[in-house]
Amino acid sequence: MTLKKTLTIAGSDTSAGAGMQADLKAFQEHGTYGMVALTVVVTMDPKTWSHTVTPLPTELLQKQIDTALSTGVDAIKTGMLSTEEIIQMASKAIQASGTDKIVIDPVMVCKGEDEVLNPGNTTAMIKYLLPHATVVTPNLFEAGQLAGTTTPKTIEQMQATAVKIHELGAKNVVIKGGKALVHDKAVDLFYNGVEFKLLETEKVSSTYNHGAGCTFAASICANLANGLTVEESVIEAKEFVSAAIKHGWALNEHVGPVMHGAKPRFGAPEVTVTTIPNYVKA
Ligand SMILES: Nc1ncnc2c1ncn2[C@@H]1O[C@H](COP(=O)(O)OP(=O)(O)O)[C@@H](O)[C@H]1O
Ligand SMILES: Cc1ncc(COP(=O)(O)O)c(C=O)c1O
Ligand SMILES: [Mg+2]
Protein backbone atom coordinates (compact mmCIF):
# COMPACT_ATOMS: atom_id res chain seq x y z
CA MET A 1 0.00 0.00 0.00
CA THR A 2 1.30 3.46 -0.78
CA LEU A 3 0.42 6.55 1.18
CA LYS A 4 0.06 10.13 0.02
CA LYS A 5 3.09 12.16 1.10
CA THR A 6 2.55 15.42 2.96
CA LEU A 7 5.38 17.82 3.70
CA THR A 8 5.37 20.59 6.27
CA ILE A 9 7.96 23.36 6.10
CA ALA A 10 7.57 24.61 9.66
CA GLY A 11 9.02 25.17 13.09
CA SER A 12 9.28 22.78 16.02
CA ASP A 13 7.08 23.67 18.98
CA THR A 14 8.86 21.81 21.73
CA SER A 15 5.67 21.81 23.81
CA ALA A 16 4.31 19.80 20.85
CA GLY A 17 0.80 21.20 20.55
CA ALA A 18 1.56 23.44 17.55
CA GLY A 19 4.20 23.62 14.84
CA MET A 20 5.50 20.58 13.01
CA GLN A 21 4.46 18.33 15.90
CA ALA A 22 0.81 19.31 15.31
CA ASP A 23 1.29 18.93 11.58
CA LEU A 24 2.72 15.42 11.83
CA LYS A 25 -0.01 14.31 14.22
CA ALA A 26 -2.72 15.68 11.91
CA PHE A 27 -1.03 14.20 8.83
CA GLN A 28 -0.91 10.81 10.53
CA GLU A 29 -4.53 10.95 11.70
CA HIS A 30 -5.55 11.63 8.10
CA GLY A 31 -3.70 8.56 6.86
CA THR A 32 -0.94 10.39 5.02
CA TYR A 33 2.83 9.97 5.28
CA GLY A 34 3.96 13.14 7.04
CA MET A 35 7.39 14.62 6.37
CA VAL A 36 9.12 17.71 7.82
CA ALA A 37 11.61 20.35 6.72
CA LEU A 38 12.38 22.16 9.97
CA THR A 39 12.90 25.95 9.97
CA VAL A 40 13.27 26.93 13.65
CA VAL A 41 13.05 25.39 17.10
CA VAL A 42 10.79 27.11 19.64
CA THR A 43 11.65 26.46 23.28
CA MET A 44 9.95 27.69 26.43
CA ASP A 45 11.34 29.03 29.66
CA PRO A 46 10.28 26.37 32.18
CA LYS A 47 9.33 29.04 34.75
CA THR A 48 7.64 31.76 32.68
CA TRP A 49 6.94 29.81 29.47
CA SER A 50 8.15 32.78 27.41
CA HIS A 51 9.19 31.56 23.95
CA THR A 52 12.60 31.60 22.30
CA VAL A 53 12.75 31.04 18.55
CA THR A 54 16.10 29.58 17.39
CA PRO A 55 16.60 29.30 13.63
CA LEU A 56 18.36 26.33 12.02
CA PRO A 57 21.12 27.05 9.51
CA THR A 58 19.50 27.72 6.13
CA GLU A 59 21.83 25.22 4.40
CA LEU A 60 20.37 22.56 6.65
CA LEU A 61 16.83 23.61 5.76
CA GLN A 62 17.71 23.40 2.07
CA LYS A 63 19.10 19.87 2.53
CA GLN A 64 15.88 18.81 4.24
CA ILE A 65 13.79 20.32 1.44
CA ASP A 66 15.89 18.56 -1.19
CA THR A 67 15.58 15.23 0.64
CA ALA A 68 11.81 15.49 1.03
CA LEU A 69 11.14 16.71 -2.51
CA SER A 70 13.21 13.92 -4.00
CA THR A 71 10.55 11.46 -2.77
CA GLY A 72 7.80 13.27 -4.71
CA VAL A 73 5.43 14.95 -2.28
CA ASP A 74 1.68 15.17 -2.92
CA ALA A 75 0.91 18.29 -0.88
CA ILE A 76 2.84 20.92 1.07
CA LYS A 77 1.98 23.05 4.09
CA THR A 78 4.02 25.98 5.39
CA GLY A 79 4.01 27.11 9.01
CA MET A 80 6.47 29.23 10.97
CA LEU A 81 8.95 30.80 8.53
CA SER A 82 11.03 33.23 10.53
CA THR A 83 12.91 35.29 7.92
CA GLU A 84 12.49 36.54 4.37
CA GLU A 85 15.26 34.18 3.24
CA ILE A 86 13.36 31.19 4.64
CA ILE A 87 10.14 32.40 3.02
CA GLN A 88 11.92 32.55 -0.33
CA MET A 89 13.32 29.03 0.20
CA ALA A 90 9.81 27.74 0.92
CA SER A 91 8.54 29.45 -2.23
CA LYS A 92 11.23 27.82 -4.36
CA ALA A 93 10.50 24.44 -2.78
CA ILE A 94 6.82 24.81 -3.64
CA GLN A 95 7.63 25.69 -7.24
CA ALA A 96 10.11 22.81 -7.57
CA SER A 97 7.74 20.28 -5.99
CA GLY A 98 5.46 19.74 -8.96
CA THR A 99 2.36 19.75 -6.75
CA ASP A 100 -0.29 22.44 -6.79
CA LYS A 101 -1.75 21.35 -3.44
CA ILE A 102 -0.29 24.06 -1.25
CA VAL A 103 -1.56 25.27 2.11
CA ILE A 104 -0.02 28.47 3.45
CA ASP A 105 -0.61 29.03 7.17
CA PRO A 106 0.78 32.56 7.55
CA VAL A 107 1.98 32.20 11.15
CA MET A 108 2.93 35.65 12.49
CA VAL A 109 2.68 35.22 16.26
CA CYS A 110 2.61 32.40 18.76
CA LYS A 111 -0.60 32.26 20.77
CA GLY A 112 0.04 33.77 24.15
CA GLU A 113 2.87 35.92 22.78
CA ASP A 114 2.17 39.45 21.54
CA GLU A 115 5.31 40.02 19.58
CA VAL A 116 5.04 39.67 15.81
CA LEU A 117 7.79 37.31 14.57
CA ASN A 118 9.37 39.72 12.10
CA PRO A 119 7.12 42.40 10.61
CA GLY A 120 9.05 42.39 7.28
CA ASN A 121 7.95 38.80 6.73
CA THR A 122 4.43 39.86 5.81
CA THR A 123 5.65 41.58 2.65
CA ALA A 124 7.71 38.50 1.75
CA MET A 125 4.74 36.16 2.32
CA ILE A 126 2.63 38.32 0.03
CA LYS A 127 5.28 38.36 -2.68
CA TYR A 128 6.61 34.80 -2.52
CA LEU A 129 3.89 32.60 -1.01
CA LEU A 130 0.38 33.89 -1.68
CA PRO A 131 0.64 33.51 -5.49
CA HIS A 132 1.27 29.77 -4.93
CA ALA A 133 -1.38 29.18 -2.28
CA THR A 134 -4.16 26.73 -3.04
CA VAL A 135 -5.48 27.73 0.37
CA VAL A 136 -4.27 30.38 2.82
CA THR A 137 -5.49 30.17 6.43
CA PRO A 138 -4.92 33.45 8.32
CA ASN A 139 -6.49 34.15 11.70
CA LEU A 140 -8.11 37.58 12.07
CA PHE A 141 -4.88 39.38 12.95
CA GLU A 142 -2.91 37.74 10.14
CA ALA A 143 -5.69 38.46 7.63
CA GLY A 144 -5.56 42.17 8.45
CA GLN A 145 -1.78 42.19 8.13
CA LEU A 146 -1.82 40.44 4.73
CA ALA A 147 -4.57 42.71 3.40
CA GLY A 148 -2.88 45.84 4.75
CA THR A 149 -5.96 46.76 6.76
CA THR A 150 -6.93 46.77 10.40
CA THR A 151 -7.88 43.45 12.01
CA PRO A 152 -11.38 42.53 10.75
CA LYS A 153 -14.02 42.49 13.48
CA THR A 154 -17.23 41.62 11.62
CA ILE A 155 -18.20 39.07 8.95
CA GLU A 156 -18.49 41.90 6.42
CA GLN A 157 -14.99 43.13 7.24
CA MET A 158 -13.75 39.53 6.94
CA GLN A 159 -15.31 39.39 3.46
CA ALA A 160 -13.58 42.61 2.36
CA THR A 161 -10.30 41.29 3.75
CA ALA A 162 -10.72 37.92 2.00
CA VAL A 163 -11.27 39.68 -1.34
CA LYS A 164 -8.02 41.61 -0.87
CA ILE A 165 -6.07 38.46 0.00
CA HIS A 166 -7.56 36.65 -3.00
CA GLU A 167 -6.45 39.54 -5.21
CA LEU A 168 -2.90 38.95 -3.93
CA GLY A 169 -2.99 35.53 -5.63
CA ALA A 170 -4.27 32.99 -3.09
CA LYS A 171 -6.82 30.79 -4.90
CA ASN A 172 -8.85 30.10 -1.77
CA VAL A 173 -8.91 32.06 1.47
CA VAL A 174 -10.11 30.85 4.87
CA ILE A 175 -10.19 33.56 7.52
CA LYS A 176 -10.48 31.96 10.94
CA GLY A 177 -12.85 33.91 13.15
CA GLY A 178 -12.25 31.26 15.78
CA LYS A 179 -12.31 32.45 19.32
CA ALA A 180 -11.38 36.05 18.55
CA LEU A 181 -14.50 37.00 16.57
CA VAL A 182 -17.28 38.28 18.78
CA HIS A 183 -19.95 35.75 17.82
CA ASP A 184 -21.75 32.94 19.61
CA LYS A 185 -20.33 30.35 17.16
CA ALA A 186 -16.76 29.61 16.01
CA VAL A 187 -17.04 31.06 12.52
CA ASP A 188 -14.59 30.77 9.63
CA LEU A 189 -15.11 32.51 6.29
CA PHE A 190 -14.29 30.59 3.10
CA TYR A 191 -13.81 32.49 -0.18
CA ASN A 192 -12.85 30.88 -3.49
CA GLY A 193 -12.96 34.02 -5.63
CA VAL A 194 -16.58 33.39 -6.59
CA GLU A 195 -18.63 32.82 -3.48
CA PHE A 196 -18.43 33.17 0.28
CA LYS A 197 -19.33 30.44 2.72
CA LEU A 198 -19.54 30.59 6.48
CA LEU A 199 -18.34 27.51 8.31
CA GLU A 200 -19.69 27.39 11.85
CA THR A 201 -19.37 25.08 14.83
CA GLU A 202 -20.23 25.39 18.46
CA LYS A 203 -17.74 27.64 20.27
CA VAL A 204 -15.78 25.71 22.89
CA SER A 205 -15.18 27.80 26.01
CA SER A 206 -11.88 26.04 26.76
CA THR A 207 -8.57 27.89 26.71
CA TYR A 208 -6.79 24.66 25.79
CA ASN A 209 -6.48 25.61 22.14
CA HIS A 210 -2.73 25.66 21.56
CA GLY A 211 -1.98 24.36 18.08
CA ALA A 212 -5.50 24.79 16.70
CA GLY A 213 -4.35 26.79 13.70
CA CYS A 214 -1.56 24.37 12.74
CA THR A 215 -3.84 21.36 13.17
CA PHE A 216 -6.50 22.98 10.96
CA ALA A 217 -4.09 23.87 8.13
CA ALA A 218 -2.29 20.49 8.26
CA SER A 219 -5.65 18.71 8.04
CA ILE A 220 -6.55 20.71 4.93
CA CYS A 221 -3.17 19.76 3.44
CA ALA A 222 -3.67 16.04 4.14
CA ASN A 223 -7.21 16.13 2.76
CA LEU A 224 -5.99 17.74 -0.47
CA ALA A 225 -3.27 15.08 -0.74
CA ASN A 226 -5.96 12.42 -0.34
CA GLY A 227 -7.90 13.86 -3.27
CA LEU A 228 -10.68 15.79 -1.56
CA THR A 229 -11.81 19.06 -3.15
CA VAL A 230 -10.71 22.31 -1.52
CA GLU A 231 -14.12 22.88 0.04
CA GLU A 232 -14.40 19.29 1.31
CA SER A 233 -10.88 19.59 2.71
CA VAL A 234 -11.66 22.76 4.64
CA ILE A 235 -14.94 21.45 6.04
CA GLU A 236 -13.40 18.20 7.27
CA ALA A 237 -10.46 20.13 8.76
CA LYS A 238 -12.92 22.32 10.67
CA GLU A 239 -14.61 19.19 12.09
CA PHE A 240 -11.22 17.74 12.97
CA VAL A 241 -9.96 20.86 14.77
CA SER A 242 -13.27 21.48 16.58
CA ALA A 243 -13.05 18.01 18.09
CA ALA A 244 -9.38 18.62 18.92
CA ILE A 245 -10.24 21.86 20.76
CA LYS A 246 -13.21 20.29 22.53
CA HIS A 247 -10.85 17.68 23.98
CA GLY A 248 -7.96 20.10 24.62
CA TRP A 249 -6.14 19.45 27.89
CA ALA A 250 -3.64 21.00 30.30
CA LEU A 251 -0.06 19.96 29.51
CA ASN A 252 1.09 22.01 32.51
CA GLU A 253 0.07 25.24 34.25
CA HIS A 254 1.15 27.28 31.21
CA VAL A 255 -0.25 25.64 28.12
CA GLY A 256 -3.18 23.54 26.96
CA PRO A 257 -2.70 21.80 23.63
CA VAL A 258 -5.56 20.54 21.51
CA MET A 259 -6.02 16.78 21.37
CA HIS A 260 -4.98 16.24 17.78
CA GLY A 261 -6.50 12.79 17.39
CA ALA A 262 -9.87 13.49 19.06
CA LYS A 263 -12.14 13.23 16.02
CA PRO A 264 -11.59 9.54 15.19
CA ARG A 265 -11.90 8.64 18.88
CA PHE A 266 -14.77 10.79 20.12
CA GLY A 267 -16.47 12.12 16.96
CA ALA A 268 -16.66 15.76 15.91
CA PRO A 269 -19.08 18.64 16.36
CA GLU A 270 -21.24 19.37 13.32
CA VAL A 271 -20.04 22.01 10.87
CA THR A 272 -22.79 24.17 9.35
CA VAL A 273 -22.01 25.58 5.90
CA THR A 274 -23.97 28.63 4.70
CA THR A 275 -23.46 30.51 1.45
CA ILE A 276 -23.73 34.21 2.14
CA PRO A 277 -24.33 37.08 -0.30
CA ASN A 278 -21.28 38.47 -2.02
CA TYR A 279 -19.69 41.45 -0.43
CA VAL A 280 -20.22 44.59 -2.49
CA LYS A 281 -17.49 47.20 -2.29
CA ALA A 282 -18.90 50.43 -0.86
N1 LIG B 1 -13.08 28.17 21.03
C2 LIG B 1 -13.22 27.58 19.85
N3 LIG B 1 -14.23 26.73 19.62
C4 LIG B 1 -14.36 26.10 18.44
N5 LIG B 1 -13.53 26.30 17.38
C6 LIG B 1 -12.50 27.15 17.55
C7 LIG B 1 -12.28 27.84 18.79
N8 LIG B 1 -11.16 28.60 18.65
C9 LIG B 1 -10.71 28.39 17.40
N10 LIG B 1 -11.52 27.54 16.73
C11 LIG B 1 -11.33 27.05 15.35
O12 LIG B 1 -10.02 26.49 15.28
C13 LIG B 1 -9.42 26.79 14.01
C14 LIG B 1 -8.13 27.53 14.27
O15 LIG B 1 -8.44 28.87 14.64
P16 LIG B 1 -7.57 29.82 15.57
O17 LIG B 1 -7.37 29.17 16.89
O18 LIG B 1 -8.23 31.15 15.55
O19 LIG B 1 -6.22 29.85 14.75
P20 LIG B 1 -4.77 30.26 15.21
O21 LIG B 1 -4.34 29.18 16.16
O22 LIG B 1 -3.97 30.25 13.96
O23 LIG B 1 -4.89 31.62 15.85
C24 LIG B 1 -10.50 27.56 13.24
O25 LIG B 1 -11.27 26.68 12.47
C26 LIG B 1 -11.33 28.19 14.35
O27 LIG B 1 -12.64 28.53 13.95
C1 LIG C 1 6.69 26.37 15.81
C2 LIG C 1 5.32 26.99 15.89
N3 LIG C 1 4.57 27.08 14.76
C4 LIG C 1 3.34 27.63 14.79
C5 LIG C 1 2.78 28.14 15.95
C6 LIG C 1 1.39 28.73 15.89
O7 LIG C 1 0.49 27.90 16.57
P8 LIG C 1 -1.11 27.96 16.45
O9 LIG C 1 -1.54 26.69 15.80
O10 LIG C 1 -1.60 28.02 17.89
O11 LIG C 1 -1.48 29.15 15.63
C12 LIG C 1 3.51 28.07 17.13
C13 LIG C 1 2.95 28.60 18.39
O14 LIG C 1 3.48 28.42 19.45
C15 LIG C 1 4.81 27.47 17.10
O16 LIG C 1 5.56 27.37 18.22
MG1 LIG D 1 -1.91 30.13 13.72
Q: List pLDDT tens digits, range 200-220.
A: 999 999 899 999 999 999 999
**Ligand 1 atom having least distance to the Cα of 269:** 4
Q: Which ligand is nearest to the CA of 190?
A: 1
> Which of 129, 133, 149 has its CA nearest to residue 141?
149
In the reported structure, the alpha carbon of residue 107 is separated from the centroid of ligand 3 by a whole-number distance in angstroms of 5
**Among the atoms of ligand 1, which is closest to the Cα of residue 204?**
3
What phi, psi does 189 have (nearest 5°)? Answer: -110, 125
Residue 146 · residue 167 · CB < 8 Å? no
Would you say 101 and 224 are in contact if contact means Cβ atoms under 8 Å apart? yes
**Does the beta carbon of 213 sit less than 6 angstroms from any atom of ligand 1?**
yes
State whether the beta carbon of 36 lies less than 6 angstroms from ligand 2. no
pTM recorded for the entire structure: 0.97
- The whole-number pLDDT of residue 113 equals 57
Q: Which amino acid is at 108?
A: M
Q: Are 14 and 49 in contact (CB under 8 A)?
A: no
Ligand lying closest to the C-alpha of residue 247: 1
Over residues 53-71, the mean pLDDT reads 97
Per-residue CA distances from 230 to 73, 80, 136, 217, 223 (Å): 18, 22, 11, 12, 8
Q: Reply yes or no on whether the pLDDT at 115 is more than 90.
A: no
pLDDT for 118:
78
Ligand 2 pocket: which of 43, 107, 219 to mutate (most atoms <8 Å of CB)? 107
Q: Does 110 contact ligand 2 (Cβ within 6 A)?
A: yes
Closest ligand (CA of 110): 2
C-alpha to C-alpha distance for 185 and 203, rounded to whole angstroms: 5
As to burial, measured by CB atoms within 10 angstroms (0-12 exposed, 13-18 middle, 19+ buried), residue 222 is buried
Of 268, 130, 128, 131, nearest to 186 (Cα)?
A: 268
The fraction of the chain above a pLDDT of 90, given in percent, is 91
Is the CB of residue 120 less than 8 Å from the CB of residue 84?
Answer: yes
Say yes or no: CB of residue 186 within 6 Å of ligand 1.
Answer: yes
Task: Please provide residue 81's backbone torsions phi and psi, each rounded to the nearest 5 degrees.
Answer: -120, 110
Q: Are 95 and 69 in contact (CB under 8 A)?
A: no
CA angle at 207 for the pair 43 and 267, rounded to the nearest 5°? 105
Which among 179, 207, 208 is the best mutation to test ligand 1's pocket, defined by most ligand atoms within 8 Å of the CB? 179
The pLDDT value given to residue 114: 55
238 CA distance to ligand 3 middle (Å): 14
Report the percentage of the chain scoring pLDDT > 70. Answer: 96
Pocket of ligand 1 contains residue 110 by CB under 6 Å: no
Q: What is the mean pLDDT of residues 98-108?
A: 97
> Which listed ligand is nearest to 140 at the C-alpha?
1
Q: What is the pLDDT of residue 246?
A: 97
* CA separation for the pair 67, 48 (Å, rounded): 37
Q: Whose CA is nearest to atom 4 of ligand 1?
A: 203
Among 1-10, 108-117, 156-165, 178-187, the least confident range? 108-117
Q: H-type helices in 212-261, by residue range?
A: 212-225, 230-246
One-letter amino acid for residue 146 of the chain: L
- Give me ligand 2 centre to Cα 100, in Å: 24
Element (H, E) at 122: helix 121-124
Residue 51's φ and ψ, nearest 5 degrees, are -90, 145
